[in-house]
Structure 1
Amino acid sequence: MKKILIISDGEVAEHFINRVIDTYTSENIYYVVQPKHKIYKNINASRFKFYEFDPTSLYKLANLLKMEFAQAIVVMDNPLDTEHTIKNIRSIKKQLRIIVLNKWNLKNEDQNVVLINSNEILSSRLLNYLPNVPVIAQNVGMGEGEIMEVLVPFGSSFVYKHIGVIEQKEWRIVAIYRNKKLIMPSRRRMIQPNDLLLLVGDPVVLKSVYIAIKRELGQFPEPFGSNLYLYLDMDLINFKTTEKLVSRTIFAHKKLGHNLIIRIVNPNNIDLIWKIKEFRDETVIIDIDYDGINQKKNFFNDIKKYHVGLVIVPNEIFDDYNMRTTLYEAHVPVLKIANKVLSSVKDASIILGDNRDLEKISSTIFDISAQMHLNIELYNYINEHQEAKEQVIEHYYNLSTIFSKNIKIIKDSENPIKKLKNKNDFIQILPFTKKLTKKKIYSLLSTDSERLYHKLDDNHQIFIPVQI
Structure 2
Amino acid sequence: MKKILIVSDGAIGKHYIERVIGTYTSENLYYVVHTEENRFEGYNPARYKFFQFDPTSFYKISNLLKMDFWQVVLVMENQIDLDQTIKNIRMYKPSIRIIALDIWNSVSPEDDIEWVNMQELIAANLIDYLPNIPVLAKNIGLGSGEIMEVLVPFGSSFVYRHIGSIEQKNWKIAAIYRNRQLIIPSDNKMIQPNDTLVLVGEPSVLRSIYRAIKRELGQFPAPFGSRLYLYIDMAIEKPSSIMGLVRRSINIQKKLRQPLIIKVINPGNIDALRMIKASAEGNVTIDICYDIEPDEGIILSDIKKYYIGLFLVSHKAFCSKAIRKKLYAGNVPVLKLADRSFSSIKESVVILSEEGHIENISTTIFDVSSQFGFNLELINYVHEEGNHKQKAIEHFNNLSAIFSKSIHVSEQEVNPIRKLRERENFLHILPFTDKMFMGPLDVFFSTDPEVLYRKLSRFHQLFIPTQI
* TM bucket normalised to smaller: over 0.9
Question: Partners of 2:237 and 2:166 in 1: how far apart?
Answer: 36
TM-score by length of 2: 0.94
Aligned to 2:174, the other structure's residue is in SS state strand
Evaluate the alpha carbon distance shift between residue 24 and residue 143 of structure 1 in structure 2; reply closer, same or farther with a 3 A threshold: closer
Aligned to 2:150, the other structure's residue is in SS state strand
Mapped contact 1:21–1:42 kept (Cα < 8 A): yes
The yes-or-no answer on 1:448 pairing with 2:439 is no
What amino acid does structure 1 have at the position aligned with 2:381?
A: Y
Mapped contact 2:171–2:201 kept (Cα < 8 A): yes
* Number of the residue aligned with 1:36: 36
Question: Partners of 2:290 and 2:88 in 1: how far apart?
Answer: 75
CA positional deviation for 1:436? 1.2
Mapped contact 2:157–2:215 kept (Cα < 8 A): yes
> In the TM superposition, what are the counterparts of 1:151-170 in structure 2 within 5 Å?
151-170=151-170
Size of the alignment, in residue pairs? 468
Aligned to 1:392, the other structure's residue is in SS state helix
* Number of the residue aligned with 1:23: 23
* Number of the residue aligned with 2:125: 125
CA positional deviation for 1:350? 0.3
Mapped contact 2:109–2:115 kept (Cα < 8 A): no
CA positional deviation for 1:441? 5.5
Mapped contact 2:360–2:466 kept (Cα < 8 A): yes
* Number of the residue aligned with 1:437: 437
* Number of the residue aligned with 1:98: 98
CA positional deviation for 1:218? 1.1
Structure 1: gaps of 5 or more residues: none
* Number of the residue aligned with 1:278: 278
Mapped contact 2:149–2:197 kept (Cα < 8 A): yes
What amino acid does structure 1 have at the position aligned with 2:413?
A: S
Evaluate the alpha carbon distance shift between residue 87 and residue 357 of structure 1 in structure 2; reply closer, same or farther with a 3 A threshold: same
Question: Partners of 1:316 and 1:193 in 2: how far apart?
Answer: 43
Mapped contact 1:30–1:49 kept (Cα < 8 A): yes
What amino acid does structure 2 have at the position aligned with 1:32?
A: V
The yes-or-no answer on 1:421 pairing with 2:452 is no
Evaluate the alpha carbon distance shift between residue 147 and residue 443 of structure 1 in structure 2; reply closer, same or farther with a 3 A threshold: same
Aligned to 1:46, the other structure's residue is in SS state coil
Question: Partners of 1:224 and 1:24 in 2: how far apart?
Answer: 46
Evaluate the alpha carbon distance shift between residue 288 and residue 22 of structure 1 in structure 2; reply closer, same or farther with a 3 A threshold: same
RMSD, aligned CA: 2.0
What amino acid does structure 2 have at the position aligned with 1:385?
A: E
> In the TM superposition, what are the counterparts of 1:260-271 in structure 2 within 5 Å?
260-271=260-271
Question: Partners of 1:188 and 1:195 in 2: how far apart?
Answer: 16
Question: Partners of 2:418 and 2:107 in 1: how far apart?
Answer: 76
> In the TM superposition, what are the counterparts of 1:28-427 in structure 2 within 5 Å?
28-107=28-107, 110-427=110-427
Query: Which stretch of structure 1 is more off in the superposition, 158-167 or 251-260?
Result: 158-167
TM-score by length of 1: 0.94
CA positional deviation for 1:108? 5.5
Question: Partners of 1:197 and 1:166 in 2: how far apart?
Answer: 13
Question: Partners of 1:123 and 1:179 in 2: how far apart?
Answer: 29
Matched residues, percent identical?
51
CA positional deviation for 1:190? 2.4
Query: Which stretch of structure 1 is more off in the superposition, 59-68 or 111-120?
Result: 59-68
CA positional deviation for 1:237? 2.1
Question: Partners of 1:321 and 1:6 in 2: how far apart?
Answer: 67
What amino acid does structure 2 have at the position aligned with 1:105?
A: N
Question: Partners of 1:317 and 1:233 in 2: how far apart?
Answer: 8
What amino acid does structure 2 have at the position aligned with 1:354?
A: E
CA positional deviation for 1:440? 4.8
